[in-house]
Structure 1
C-alpha cells in the first residue's frame, strides 16, 4: 500500500484543485476525463499477460474479446454519468472475485445568492443524496479532512438492463469542498459481496471503504 507523504499545511485561501485517496496497489485508477484509453489498455494488457503461456488460441481469443467488451462497457456506463475517476480491483486474492468499484464525481450546485445564507450544508448534502428517492437508506454525517461529509448506505436490486446481474451493497459519501459551498465531492462504492450484498464479504468491504474514505485529503493550488 502506498504511504502518504508529510506536507506543510496549505493556506485555506488556496483553492481546492483535487483530492487524494490511499488505496491498495491492486486497485487501479481509470481517469474518465483525460487518459481513459491509456488506462484501459494498460489494465487489459496486464490481465492478458496473466494468461498461461501455451493456452489454446481458440479458447484465449474469445475470452480476451469478451473480457475487453465487458470491461469497456462498464467504463462507458460510468463515463455517461460525467464522473471524474473510476477505481477497480485489478487482481483477485486467491479465488475471490471482489466484484467492487469506486466512482468519484463532483457536483456543482446552481448559484443562488439569495438562498446561500439560509441553506444548511448538511441539509444540502442530504437533498443531493436523496435525489433518487431512496427510502431505505441509512444516513449519517461527520467530517473528512475538515469538511462536512454525509454518508449513505443502501442495497440496490439487480438491474440486468444496466449490466448489474446481482444485487449490490452501496455506500456513498458526499463531501462539501472547502471554501466553495457550491461544490460537492462524491465517492460511491458498490460491491456484490460473495453474491449476496448482505453477506460477510460485503460487510468487510464496506468497512474497508469507510477506512479508505478516512484517508481523503484535499489538493490545493
Structure 2
C-alpha cells in the first residue's frame, strides 16, 4: 500500500525564507527579524533600523494571517536584497478545497480547471514532481474581482504598502497517492512596476525554477 506524503520540499533562492502558517509562525518571524534581516534598504538611517524591522514583522504577520485564513500552509518571501534591491515578491503554498469527486482522475480535474480560465490569463498543462499539474498565469489590478479556485499570493508587504497591479502565477498540483487532495502554489509580484518588463519576467522565471525543485516528502 502506497503511503501519502507527509509534506513537500522546495529549494529556495538565496535570501528567501519560509514562514510556516500552521505551527511555528511566531518563531519563524523572530528568526526573520533577528537572524535574516541584517541589512535594511539604503536611505534608512541606522537609528531607524530596528523600527524598520518591527514594521516589516507587523506587515509579514498581517500577510501570514490572511494566507492562513485562506488555507495557507507556508508563506515564502525574500528578506535580503539582491544587488542592493529588495525584491517585491512572495508565494504561498496552500491546501485547495476543490470539492471534486475523490474518484475523479487528476487529468479530468485539471482539464476542467484549465477550461475555467478567464480571458485575462492563460493556463497550460505541466508536470510537477513527475505528475500532471496546471500552471495559470494572469495579471491582477486593484479593485477588480478575480475569482479563483485557490487563495492568491500577496505581494511582500514589507516593501509594498499599497495594492498595485501584480503578475501572478498559480500552480495546481494533486497530492501524490491521496485522491481528492490538492495544493496550490501561488506567486505574486509587481515586478519593477511594468508587468511585461524583462525584470518582471526574470522574477517569474525564478519562481518557475523554484517550483521545478518541488518534490513530496515522506519523512
Task: Provide the TM-score with structure 1 as the length reference.
Answer: 0.78
Distance 1:153 1:191 in 2: 12
Bigger radius of gyration, 1 or 2?
Answer: 1
Alpha carbons 1:30, 1:40 under 8 Å: kept: yes
Is 2:136 aligned against 1:152?
Answer: yes
Name segments (4+ residues, structure 1) moved above 4 Å: 108-111, 126-131
Q: Which residue of 1 aligns with 2:179?
A: 181
Q: Which residue of 2 aligns with 1:29?
A: 18
Distance 1:169 1:153 in 2: 8
SS of the residue aligned with 1:96?
Answer: coil
Q: Which residue of 2 aligns with 1:16?
A: 5
* Match for residue 210 of structure 2 among 209, 212, 216: 212
Give, in angstroms, the shift of residue 184 of structure 1: 1.1
Q: Which residue of 1 aligns with 2:192?
A: 194
Q: Which residue of 1 aligns with 2:56?
A: 67
Distance 1:159 1:39 in 2: 32
SS of the residue aligned with 2:72?
Answer: coil
Cα 1:92/1:49, change in 2 over 3 Å: closer
Per-residue displacement from partner, 1:147-195 (whole Å, max 9, x unpaired)? 11110000111359x8652111111111112222201121111111112
Q: Which residue of 2 aligns with 1:87?
A: 76
Distance 1:23 1:180 in 2: 26
Give, in angstroms, the shift of residue 34 of structure 1: 0.3
SS of the residue aligned with 2:6?
Answer: strand
Distance 2:63 2:53 in 1: 15
Distance 1:137 1:91 in 2: 31
Q: Which residue of 2 aligns with 1:125?
A: 110
Structure 1: gaps (5+ residues) = 1-11
Distance 1:84 1:21 in 2: 13
Distance 1:129 1:91 in 2: 36
Task: Provide the TM-score with structure 2 as the length reference.
Answer: 0.79
SS of the residue aligned with 2:96?
Answer: strand
SS of the residue aligned with 1:97?
Answer: coil
Structure 2: gaps (5+ residues) = 145-153, 155-160
* Higher share of residues assigned helix: 1
Tell me the number of residue pairs that the alignment of Structure 1 and Structure 2 aligns.
201
- After superposition, the CA RMSD in angstroms is 2.8
Give, in angstroms, the shift of residue 56 of structure 1: 6.4
Alpha carbons 2:94, 2:183 under 8 Å: kept: yes
Alpha carbons 2:126, 2:134 under 8 Å: kept: yes
